[in-house]
Structure 1
Amino acid sequence: RKLYNEELHNLYSSPSIIRMIKSRRTRWAGHIARMGETRNAYRILVGKPEGKRPLGRPRSRWEDNIKMDLREIEWDGVDVIDLAQNRDQWRALVNTPGGSNSVTIQWGFCIPSTCGAEDMRAGLSTVLHRDVTVTLSELDCHTNEGKKLKIIDYVAIAVFVTFGLSVILSTSYDLLKKGRGKQILISFSLYTNGRKLLSTKDSPETLTCLSGIRILSICWIVLGHRYLLSMNVPSINAITGYGFISDWSTMVIINSVLAVDTFLLVSGLLVAYGQLGHVDRRQKFLNVPLYYLHRYIRLTPALAVMVLMQLSLIEHMGSGPLWDKGNKHLTQLCQENWWSALLYVQNYVSDYRMLQVYTGWMLSALGCFSAIYWRLPFQQPDYKYNVYISAIYACLNRPIWAFAVGWVIYACVTGYGGPVDKLLSWGAFKPLGRLTYCIYLVHFTYILYRQLTTRTPIYINGINLMSQVVSDVFFSILFAALLSLGFEVPALNVEKVLLRAERADKSDIVQRKSVEDGRINQGFAAKDNR
């Protein structure tokens, strides 16, 4: 039935409704501020989502309702509306590394669908009564309406359905033939490829410590990205969370970028190692064009799948106050740079002395700690920029780290690794080590999806971050396994069948597999030659 002004006023004024409003209040934060959303029951009862006129005129103005919403939101004990009108309070509350003396406060409101960004901007400007810049974009407006599929979406669906059917048919054929079928027909077999992935067999030529180094490095990268993205989403203790930057214990997280240098070191090491082994066995150098072709086929299918996902279906997979704007930005970057990513030219078009073992281990540890904690003074709020110190840091930080990790590898290979070698050579690391490339591709998208679809603020502390990291690593491994078994390994199997004019001997296969992104995949080679 119709609700008239008197009934609406009495309903809104009742203590139960007021308690409901306060109990349902949520807060949002962006960067170093707080974004508060109060779903005002008065407006929801009076207005309609489809934007029709209400049945009965409310007894208060719309801007009065907004002002009441803002009064209910507090940021570190200060009313948000007072904070927005007082620059002194603003400066006093913000104390972040780098000397920032301003803050961006973001608020979320539930408004009728007929109201646009300009209407909201005008209403907020009227309420604040001060010369405060209010910025709104249509990308900030979020509705529950579904998005229509585009041509690229249908292309993506067709690609995924085709590969999915190929996996099902190939697996069925493989199981019926019990592994004796033609190689080209079992290239997509989940059973055969899964056995290869889970194999823990090694040969004398395998550098077993590299598996552990790779998986620990990718976990370090996941940790760094989780921390980075947590600083840019709603949080209850945004300012306190930013204080982590200047804490000594956070240096390990902030310097997770060094893990990328570890992968570069391992890849370069294995290329040289494989080339020397090839020359020793075959008395001739590696076929460079064929090697580049093999590497392109090795790396591109999984990358192309992730690019296609970002360009198409991922837009329809999430929702929330942060989703539309955040995902739109990433999709636009992908639309502009997808070709350079698939050609591996995005960086260009977008802009040894032997020591005794004990001394080597000490220098390695010193190098690791200095590379990580060298940055600590730079993160302090009172640090004054020095161009010479910064230049020295930029030049030496990564080489020192690479040298330190290189010593660990050398010590493990030559028998001086001890418990470190046993840990890095653990059998469980071998299957996971084969997934590091796919984990690297999927983990950031997964973390970003979780962050952009959040609807409640988080509390930033070490325990919460680590629990999120464990979850991120687990699901990244799961999705990476699907990506590898569905696209990466089948592409390699097809390439091997089509590009080999004659059956190569085992040593040649070992050579080609020895540069499989960081380790010798002897287990794969053994399975391929049954």
Structure 2
Amino acid sequence: MMDRARKLIAEAMRSAEGSPLLRRLMRTEVSPECTIGLLRFMRDMRNLEPWAVRLIDASGKYPTGLFQGTISDIGAYDECVETVVHDQFGHVTVSGQYCNMYIKLTNDTSVLDHMMPAFLMTNRRTTELFQLLDDERVRGLRVGICTMSDCSREDIQAIANTISEGIAKVTVNDCVTGEPVPISDLQITLIALLGVNVLLVVFSTLFDMYAKKKNMKRTIVVKLMSAFSVPRNTHTLLYVTRNSSSEAYCYRFLHGLRFFSLFWIVLGHSSMAFDPVISRFANVLEATGTWFYCTFSTAFLSVDTFFFLSGFLLAYNVIKVDLDAWIIIAVALTRRIIRVMVPVTYVILAFFLVPLFYSGPNSKLLFDSYNKEITSRWWQLLLQVRNFYNSTDMECFAHLWYLSTDFQLFVVCIFVLALLRKRQTLMMWTFLGLSLFCSIFSAWQMQTGKYLPVIPSVVGDLTTMANTFNEVYMMPSFHGASYFLGCVTVLYLQKYRKAEMSRATEVVLWCASVACALTCVLARRRWNAGIVNPGAWEDVAFAFFDRLLWSAFLSWLVIACARGRGGFVGRFLSWGAFVPLSRLSFGVYLVHLPYFVVMCFVARERIYYSMLGVISTTFSIFVWSCLLSYGIFVLCECPTGVIEKTFLAFNGIEKTIHGNQHFRHGGASRNKGWASAANGKKQPPIIPTVVVGQEQLSAAAAGTAPPETVPQSCRL
């Protein structure tokens, strides 16, 4: 049988010797090493040598399922890079090299026009895929090819250009072999720093255990030396207040709201279709046209839930602080930057170590893009202006635009709150005016006809979608209504918390709030289904009302639960299991998208797109992100909170102004009441900080349990 196969291969190769294609290939300018390698490959392929057959087997051929939207054939990455031939002395004579080849048809669309009925049999919106493929930012059909390492990327590109000869644009990129990638100086430095971090954790844990055994007083030195203690930080993470009369217990429902909002965002990101690995892209088109998919696309609104919570918690803390306005502003901004940027920097630097552990068909593209991203974006993140610069290529940390937008809204609110905190009526009208202005500005942007009010999963015009994301969605004006109305909710609660409300009024408000939420969720089906008409009155109206209606729903939910009228919803959201998960929310947000991107870009096989698959992927990403977030919390986030709180919290200033306060366990107050320097009246217990983005609602605690003043985030 082998003799017959060799004979057939030899006859086929002889029949091709005089073909025009072979003559063009012979004239292709490639390196001498590549020429010798190709001759060796043709000779051994004629004899069906195992290594030559293996290269053919590892290469992708044709994207089977092309008519249903499958635009890639990855091939067998591991089989390719593991192909190594040694001579009798152990020297490597042949090694496999994996490359991505992208094929894009030129202006001649006669083939597509002829085959269009075959595409339309799957879904009438399949034509939108061709509009996407025509965009210059889309590389085209992807085929993984396996060649010999004797040929460089430039050699393979020259051969591909000769074969295509104007029929299609072929691009060869991301060629890798099985040889280990040498560790860089930066990675060595980061490993050393990580080792120091681990040593600090070990030392701090041992010292904390010793201090606890000796009942040492919690002095500043003891607090700092035990800041990295794993048991103490884990206990801080898991602690749930049981004192039903405390402020922390009253607002515990916010933990549940934060947990579900974060999970919803992970679900939305998991539903994104990465074209390099998606099989049957037509399923995306089918899914986006259903009402059920509105629950996926509304994940964007969960981001506004976090903006609302940020504004709510900021106002909740600041309006009760009786200090000089400029002290509040200066300390708040300083603590905010430290609390946010230290964990962000930690995660970004740690990601440089990922190439040491993971590789795959698209890993070179991913890690090269990441290096470029950090090189060009680091100062934007540091200066909190990331959202003012467009996201062009695939970025692992593109979602960090949120931090810059949140900071800019934080700055506006902290000035209004600090300067007008004694004139709360004027403050409320100021926030209402700012919310209305943001909604009007968003509506004005829509009437220009350049943007969409939502970001659909699939749209034929990539330019419109990119402009919407870069010039509308990332801007503080688009989310300002949610942030400012969060502040208004606190002011309303403070003024009317004990006001009587009839059962009928509550029922009407619940129905109205649910109607607002359903409107925001279900109205997105119009744009999900591919109905795109930029500048239409529907776009203008939706852009104006969307955030206002969603914030109205959140406002009533918070007011009802805070007043103890939340019923089953309030009790469920206050479940203690949500508290530690909520405390991990900042870390989960930081790592979940990079984890998902790495998972897709190192995938060895195509991923079939389905709703069940998206939901399963969401749970997988969320669980892994929680585990990674716990490590970030123990190694970085919680220690950072303890250290900066020791030096930058208002405790020392408050002790001078308000009299004696008792602090324990990392500087947290027992909150026996605030004696106002102005009138001597007792004020409600509050958190001795204004950095609410990573603080709990109250420092009050019951018994001897540690109070909930741990570093965490309500920002997303």
| Superposition TM-score, scaled by structure 2 size | 0.61
Task: Summarize the alignment of residues 6-21 of structure 1 with structure 2, pairs less than 5 Å apart.
Answer: 12=48
CA contact (8 A) 2:74 2:361 kept: no
Report the Cα offset of residue 268 of structure 1.
0.6
Candidates 197, 212, 231, aligned match of 1:163: 197
8 A Cα contact 2:332 2:691, kept in partner? no
Partner residue in 2 for 1:232? 275
Deviation at 1:159, TM superposition (A): 2.1
- Report the CA distance shift for 1:157/1:29 in structure 2 as closer, same or farther (over 3 A): farther
1:255-266 pair list within 5 angstroms: 255-266=298-309
Q: Distance in 1 between matches of 2:612 and 2:621?
A: 14
1:341 aligns with 2:381: yes
Larger mean Cα displacement after TM superposition, 315-324 or 377-386: 377-386
Q: 1:271 aligns with which of 307, 314, 329?
A: 314
Offset at residue 169 of structure 1 (A): 0.6
Aligned partner of 1:373 in structure 2 is 522
Matched, 1:488 2:524: no
Question: Are 1:522 and 2:708 counterparts?
Answer: no
Per the alignment, in what secondary structure is the counterpart of residue 201 of structure 1? coil
More divergent stretch after superposition (293-302 vs 353-362): 353-362
- Aligned-residue sequence identity (percent) comes to 22
1:164 Cα deviation from its structure 2 partner: 1.0
Check the 8 A contact 1:223/1:253 in 2, yes or no.
yes
**Which residue does the alignment assign to 1:222?**
266
Instruction: Give per-residue Cα distances to partners, 1:32-54, cap 9 Å, x unaligned.
Output: 542224569x9999996999579
Picking from 97, 103, 112, the partner of 1:87 is: 112
Residue 71 of structure 2 is aligned to residue 34 of structure 1: yes
User: 1:484, CA displacement in angstroms?
Assistant: 0.9
Give the Å deviation of 1:176: 2.1
How big is the shift at 1:152? 2.4
SS at match of 1:197: helix
Which residue in 2 is equivalent to 1:360?
A: 509
Instruction: Pick closer, same or farther for the CA change 1:335–1:423 going to 2, 3 Å.
Output: same
- List per-residue Cα deviations over 1:338-371 (Å, max 9, x = no partner): 1221332222466779992112111211111111
Distance (whole Å) between structure 2 residues aligned to residue 248 and residue 51 of structure 1: 58
Letter in 1 for 2:564: G
Cα distance, 1:120–1:246 mapped onto 2, change above 3 Å: farther
Closer/same/farther in 2, CA of residues 476 and 46 from structure 1, 3 Å limit = closer
Verify: 1:101 aligned to 2:130, yes or no. Answer: yes
Q: How far apart, in 1, do the equivalents of 2:533 and 2:696 lie?
A: 43
Decide which of 411, 417, 421 is 2:570's aligned counterpart: 421
CA drift of 1:231 comes to: 3.7
Q: Give the CA deviation at 1:383.
A: 4.8
Match of 1:66 in 2: none
Task: Give the C-alpha shift of residue 324 in structure 1.
Answer: 1.1
Question: Is 1:510 the equivalent of 2:551?
Answer: no
- 2:369 is aligned to 329
1:84–1:132 contact (8 Å) kept in structure 2: no
User: Secondary structure, in 3 states, of the residue corresponding to 2:547?
Assistant: helix
| Larger mean Cα displacement after TM superposition, 151-160 or 426-435 | 151-160
SS in 1 for 2:228: coil
Structure 2 residue identity aligned to 1:114: D
Partner residue of 2:25?
none
**Are 1:433 and 2:585 matched, yes or no?**
no
Matches within 5 A, 1:134-173: 134-137=170-173, 140-173=174-207
Shift of 1:514: 7.9
Distance (Å, rounded) in 1 between the aligned partners of 2:275 and 2:182: 29
Specify whether residues 43 and 264 from structure 1 end up closer, same or farther in structure 2 by C-alpha distance, changes over 3 A only. Answer: closer
| Closer/same/farther in 2, CA of residues 491 and 514 from structure 1, 3 Å limit | closer
In the TM superposition, what is the alpha-carbon distance from 1:300 to its structure 2 partner?
A: 1.8
Match of 1:133, SS state, is: strand
- Alignment RMSD: 4.1
Distance 1:318 1:333 in 2: 19
* Aligned with residue 292 of structure 1, among 329, 333, 352: 333
Contact 1:371 1:397 in 2 (8 A): yes
Alpha-carbon distance, 1:142 to partner: 2.3
Quickly say closer, same or farther: Cα 1:418–1:211, change in 2 above 3 A: same
Paired residues in the alignment total 492
Q: Distance in 1 between matches of 2:541 and 2:175?
A: 46
Shift of 1:469: 0.8
**Greater Cα offset, 292-301 or 512-521:** 512-521
TM-score, length of structure 1 as denominator length: 0.81
1:246·1:380 contact (CA, 8 Å) conserved in 2?
yes
Task: State which of 285, 291, 297 in structure 2 corresponds to 1:254.
Answer: 297
AA matched with 2:358: G
Structure 1 pair 333/529, CA: closer, same or farther in 2 (3 Å)?
closer
Are residue 177 (structure 1) and residue 242 (structure 2) matched? Answer: no
Structure showing the higher strand proportion among its residues: 2
Cα 1:275–1:38 change in 2 (3 A) is: closer
**Cα deviation digits, residues 129-171 of structure 1 (max 9, x gap):** 761111223xx21222222333322332222111111011100
Deviates more, 1:453-462 or 1:101-110: 101-110
Alignment-mate amino acid for residue 108 of structure 1 = G
Contact 2:224-2:642 within 8 A present in 1 as well:
yes
| Residue 528 of structure 1: how far off its partner (Å) | 6.5
What is the DSSP-based 3-state SS (H/G/I as helix, E as strand, rest coil) of the residue aligned with 1:142?
Answer: strand
Please give the secondary structure, in 2, of the residue aligned with 1:370: helix
TM-aligned CA distance change 1:284 to 1:106, over 3 Å: closer
Displacement after TM superposition at 1:248 (Å): 1.7
Shift of residue 244 of structure 1? 1.8
- Select the structure of larger CA radius of gyration: 2
Partners in 1 of 2:115 and 2:515 — Cα distance? 42
- Does structure 1 retain, via aligned residues, the 8 Å contact 2:513–2:552? yes
Match of 2:606 in 1: 457
Unpaired stretches in structure 1, ≥5 consecutive residues: 55-69, 71-79
Counterpart for residue 543 of structure 2: 394
Q: Distance in 2 between matches of 1:46 and 1:142?
A: 12
